[in-house]
Structure 1
Amino acid sequence: MRGMDINMSNSKIQESAFVNQSIKKRLFSNDNIFLLLGLIVYIIICSIIAPNFATGYNLSIVLEQLAVPGILSVGMCILMISRGIDLSVGTLLSFAACFMAWLISGGTSVAVAILLGILICVGCNFLMGLLLSRTTLEPFIVSVGAMIIYKGFALITTNGAEYPIPGKFGFATNIRFLNLPLMVYIMIVVYIIFALLLRYTKFGRWLYAVGDNDEASFLAGINVKNFKLLIYVINGLVIALATILMLSRNEVGNPYLGTDLEMRAIASAVVGGTALSGGKGNVIGTLLGTIWMGIISNSLNVIGVSAFWQYVVTGGIIVVAVLANNLRYKMA
């Protein structure tokens, strides 16, 4: 009996050790856990250096600032998983925002301006997706061309000037809950929707399959051309939402409103673990990457680092993130 008790005790100990080891393995095999832990450590360090950093007021500022680039990062994430990219999101946002502001300042109703802004973003991305899905052209080159075209349209629409619309479109920041503007909650909802889509739906499974190997996906029965077109249309809807929120926050149509937003979106996705080669990445990682970019920018401002050096630091972080992701994928 005593021997049986000892054996049962040893069995329970081994079982407990196996469970603990399994939990640790699952926990640390998740790439996002390192992003999260690193973010927590960084926030603690910055809070020690600058006590006014980790305050509720500063947190609300950070979240408001990263809402628009955060939403754009979702669209960039799914594009990059599918082995695509879009460098024109910032200038398309500027063009659509300028056009909407021009309409509103001229007396057009806000609802009509919003509808036309959505049509512009979706229509432009539909044309880009149609071109890229039906040809062998590189997304990088096509999107660079589109970026220049949209910038020209934004300048033509405004003639290089601004169209202020104060008091007519400020819902995204004027409506607040728990001292956070509505646009922050909209960003959270967008991330939840896409996280569920990628994890639990056929769309998500197809997205990773197409990004990993589009020829094998075609042989498996996926209409790769139409699916890639769909991805660009979805990205157009994401850009439209970001445009509406950006215009609502600034209440002015400016041809430079979306400057560098495409770089921030790409950086957030890359820092979050999305591979430029396609087939790898996740929305939660992109969210953490977005928060990382926002926290770094804000903390450097609070600490008093020159704006010029902030570009150097941000660029260095992107390079390090790309190197880390490449090493991780090689070791996997």
Structure 2
Amino acid sequence: MSNSQIEKSAFVNTSVRKRLFANDNIFLFLGLIIYIIVCSIIAPNFATGYNVSIVLEQLAVPGILSVGMCVLMISGGIDLSVGTLLSFAACSMAWLIYGGTPVVIAVIVGVLICVVCNFLMGLLLSRTSLEPFIVSVGAMIIYKGFALITTNGAEYPIPGKFGFATNIRFFNLPLMVYIMILVYIIFALLLRYTKFGRWLYAVGDNEEASFLAGISVRNFKLSVYVINGLVVALATILMLSRNEVGNPYLGTDLEMRAIASAVVGGTALSGGKGNIVGTLLGTIWMGIISNSLNVIGVSAFWQYVVTGGIIVVAVFVNNLRYKVA
């Protein structure tokens, strides 16, 4: 082989390596594969088809919430109230269905609650200089109060009236899993190939420059919160359908899981950076970690410690790409 051929081959290998490690999700994906292999060796029943179906069903709702959180965070916002808003909307729907209201009407009410609440939050945040973190914490407490008021602290079971999300199955997977996949596909295409996606990254990266470029930043940020409201509404419907009971604690900790999935997937809290594929990998990470620790037999008390540590390591490894690329 001539020197020119050797140099050309080395150049190609270097270019391929740089493109590979420049990918936002490569470390996260490789780490996930290694983790699954290790868990499968430790617990042979971990990688069974039955367990995989359980994992996918469990992560469908938090996975959908993670999409909305990813979009919000890319725009420079955040919403810590999605879990309690889900509880409030689910309680309202269950209360209506339990009292004999047609399911369609109850679903419309649930969607309106989520969209209107996010519209009001977006209106407040886009028209003022208030911090999204503080406003969403306040909203989180308000929604929890509404959920308790709606149910008076009790549960409203609706067995057999709203179980479509898990009762309808294809290839032994519930319908809610396919809905989650569809949501990821839609938003991945939306962020990559549309004006909305380009504006989203621009606004999250620099609001002032985006305004000077002709983007109505205030209205755009408002639209992002409304979209998140629709995402929360869909997650609420699926959660209520899966559990068939409305209670004030239905969405407990879901906001933390959504934020963790987005962050593990490479979404920046400062805005302007993130992608849907990374969020999907982050969602899978969260689901796999929780399930694997149960299968292996780790104490529930230690699971919090292990889960938090793995999240930190995953974020650290994913960020190494900047040094390698």
Report TM bin, short chain: over 0.9
Aligned equivalent of 1:95, options 88, 96, 107: 88
Aligned equivalent of 1:182, options 172, 175, 179: 175
Q: What letter is aligned with 1:250?
A: N
Q: How does 1:134-153 map to 2 (within 5 A)?
A: 134-153=127-146
| Deviations 1:18-57, CA, capped at 9 Å, x for gaps | 3333222211211211111111110010000000000000
Distance 1:161-1:329 versus aligned 2 partners, 3 A rule: farther
| Deviations 1:230-264, CA, capped at 9 Å, x for gaps | 00000000000000000000000010000000000
1:220 aligned onto 2:199: no
Q: What letter is aligned with 2:102?
A: S
Greater Cα shift, 17-26 or 208-217: 17-26
1:246 aligned onto 2:247: no
| Deviations 1:152-174, CA, capped at 9 Å, x for gaps | 00000000000000001000000
Distance 1:323-1:19 versus aligned 2 partners, 3 A rule: closer
Deviation at 1:331, TM superposition (A): 8.7
SS of the counterpart of 2:117? helix
State whether residues 69 and 264 of structure 1, in contact with CA within 8 Å, keep that contact through their aligned partners in structure 2: yes
CA-based RMSD of the aligned residues comes to 1.7
Greater Cα shift, 154-163 or 27-36: 27-36
Q: What letter is aligned with 2:273?
A: K
Deviation at 1:11, TM superposition (A): 4.5
Distance 1:74-1:140 versus aligned 2 partners, 3 A rule: same
State whether residues 18 and 324 of structure 2, in contact with CA within 8 Å, keep that contact through their aligned partners in structure 1: no
Q: 1:278 & 1:268 partners in 2: Cα distance?
A: 15
TM-score by length of 2: 0.96
Greater Cα shift, 119-128 or 313-322: 313-322
Q: 1:101 & 1:74 partners in 2: Cα distance?
A: 25
Q: What letter is aligned with 2:111?
A: I
Q: What letter is aligned with 1:187?
A: M
Tell me the number of residue pairs that the alignment of Structure 1 and Structure 2 aligns: 325
Q: Which residue matches 1:287?
A: 280
Q: What letter is aligned with 1:68?
A: V
Q: 2:37 & 2:316 partners in 1: Cα distance?
A: 25
Higher relative contact order (CA 8 A, sep 6+): 2
Aligned equivalent of 2:299, options 287, 293, 306: 306
Deviation at 1:95, TM superposition (A): 0.3
1:122 aligned onto 2:115: yes
| Deviations 1:40-77, CA, capped at 9 Å, x for gaps | 11001000000000000000000000000000000000
Q: Which residue matches 2:37?
A: 44
Q: Which residue matches 1:272?
A: 265
Q: Which residue matches 1:76?
A: 69
Q: 1:138 & 1:328 partners in 2: Cα distance?
A: 31
Q: 1:35 & 1:103 partners in 2: Cα distance?
A: 43
Q: What letter is aligned with 2:138?
A: G
Q: What letter is aligned with 1:160?
A: G
State whether residues 275 and 325 of structure 1, in contact with CA within 8 Å, keep that contact through their aligned partners in structure 2: no
Query: Any unmatched runs of 5+ in structure 2?
Result: none
SS of the counterpart of 2:298? coil
TM-score by length of 1: 0.94
State whether residues 101 and 163 of structure 1, in contact with CA within 8 Å, keep that contact through their aligned partners in structure 2: yes
Q: 1:268 & 1:187 partners in 2: Cα distance?
A: 14
Q: What letter is aligned with 1:229?
A: L
Query: Any unmatched runs of 5+ in structure 1?
Result: 1-5
The sequence identity of aligned pairs, in percent, is 88
Q: Which residue matches 1:209?
A: 202
Q: Which residue matches 1:3?
A: none
Greater Cα shift, 94-103 or 23-32: 23-32
Q: 1:320 & 1:145 partners in 2: Cα distance?
A: 31
